[in-house]
Chain A
Amino acid sequence: MKPFLRIEHLSKSFGGVKAVNDLSLSLFPNRINAIIGPNGAGKTTLFNLITGFIKPDSGKIFFDDVELTHLPIHAISLMGIKRTLQIKSVFNSMTVYENLWITLSAQQGNLNPFKPIARYPDIQNRVEEVIEQLDLGRFQNTPAGALSYGDVALLEIGMAIITKPKMILFDEPVCGMSPAETEKVVSKITALAAQTHIVIIEHDMDVVFKMADEIAVLAFGTKLASGTPQEIGSNQQVKEVYFGTDEVDT
């Protein structure tokens, strides 16, 4: 099977700290891929590199054999690679409806300054579809800034899926959520796996081991191990580096 995401010898340093250090990693389709690792292991840096927020010092990133390494953020997004952020990030002054609308419109590249927004029936239909799918109807006309944390997270997922992307990167999707909200988000993401490649970074081990089909463990910016949740759970090295430091941390 061919990997959809291929990372080759990727390195990125901040000052003297090697956040990502000669990392090579391949992710394969039809499964939920999780990336775990202790704080500072380079997980978010890796997402930042994939989505173009920062440029690597060396190494290459390929998505479906297209090299992403030097593309700007918006170009990577338009290729069908979407991302949610650790700190939830939407357009606060816009309503839920408008947030979804502009997301799809941007993917289509609509910039005609003389065509009123009401004249895009295809966008309108798709927005209504997503609102229904995520059960956001009650908030349709609420400014996103007035939503609860869990609902912003749902909106962010809506914005990730509305364009029918090829890959979604979830950065700690259930961070800071109540158990009920967590369950809701986990089931939404699990359902998405049938339509798109999914990669998640997550701290909550229960969530990771429940959701993921394949786990890659990062430590000190490099890959320590990868495998199924069972393999990772019984890997002695992972236990030492990851769970060991985790206990010290908490």
Chain B
Amino acid sequence: MSARMPYLGLLLVLVLAPWIIPIIGDSFWLSVLTEIIIWSCFAASINFLFGYVGLLSFGQALFFGFGMYGVALGISAFQLSFWPAFFLGPFSATVMALITGIFAVRLTWHYFAIITVVFSLIFYFLALTLKSVTGGDDGINFSMPDLFNLLGYKLSLTNTTTQYLFTLSVVVLCFWLIKVVMASAYGRSLIAIRDNDVRASLIGINVYRLRLSAFVIAGFLAGVSGSLFALFGRYASASYMFYHVSGEGVVWAIVGGVGTLLGPAIGTGIFILIREIVSTHWQHHALIVGAFAICIVIFAPEGIVGLWKKLRHRPRS
């Protein structure tokens, strides 16, 4: 029970945030928090590959983009209502992850990193070119359908509190799924592959198939975050498929702590807060972000969560 307390405490604070934030500050911070939660799921996708199965992807933005366009095109082009559109996003990202994964996970290390960049660049430029469908860099806008409309009682994500709570539920569900999966024989097999892929195949693990499955799960997570972000901004744009976006996610995950459940969320939170606070005063906020990331990598290579664990378990003299 004591192990669950920090999780439950954090969850309680997050659930109550729409009512706490207006008391202590500007309600603008609620939308910042929504954004942090969405991007946490994206960082979790990178962590799922890098932290749990040892594959460093710089191409997760591709699946984020597919999630975004799935929702946006679902609503604007296919006239879907909320739920079908919301499922279309992660679904198209997952299918895309399966198709690209078949080729990508044949490789490891820097070769894998490179091929993920290549895939995301191909589709980025494709999305730029197909301006009639994707809107290119300008993107496409859509108007938000209702979450549900029952006997005249409507709920829509246009309400920031509803939007926040919806986003939070979806992302908490994703994190809970990661936790469950990693505590299973499947999750253990992924860790085994990360540790030593030769030995993993020698004990009978089909390394290729498991890497592919992890790649698909990570694509799904990135797709969920992209879908949420599309609903958050009510638009989709090819610019979010650029590998720059993937790179940011990698930094968030590494700084927070790869191979840990909440590390990616913590890294994402810190960086988005730095951006929001510093960028209003100083346009070169990226400089602080970079310096901070370098310090963490040098002084706490296991990230913030790793550092915290180390300090907590340090024997007292």
Contact = CB atoms under 8 A, between A and B. Distances in A.
Q: Do A and B come from one complex?
A: yes
Contact of B203 (A98, A106, A114, A117): A106
Interface string A100-118: 0111011101111111110
Interface stretch (A8-16, A75-83, A186-194, A224-232): A75-83
Contact of A113 (B181, B191, B205): B181
Contacts of B23: none
Contacts of B205: 74, 106
Interface residues of B, number: 25
Interface in B145-200: 180-181, 183-189, 191-192, 194-196, 198-200
A74 B206 contact: yes
A109 B204 CA distance: 8
A91 interface: yes
Contacts of A174: none
A77 B184 contact: no
A78 B204 CA distance: 5
Contacts of A110: 185-186
B196 A77 contact: no
Contacts of B185: 102, 105, 110-112, 115, 117, 120
Contacts of B206: 72, 74
B112 to A, nearest CB: 19
Contacts, number: 91
B204 A74 contact: yes
A21 interface: no
B188 A105 contact: yes
Residue of A77, A107, A111, A114 with most chain B CB atoms under a 10 A cut-off = A111
A112 B188 CA distance: 11
A117 B184 CA distance: 5
Contacts of A105: 185, 188-189
B5 interface: no
Given A93-B195, A94-B191, A105-B185, A114 B204 contact: no
A178 interface: no
A24 B212 CA distance: 38
B263 to A, nearest CB: 16
Interface of B: 180-181, 183-189, 191-192, 194-196, 198-207, 210
Closest 3 CB pairs of A and B: A110-B185, A77-B204, A113-B186
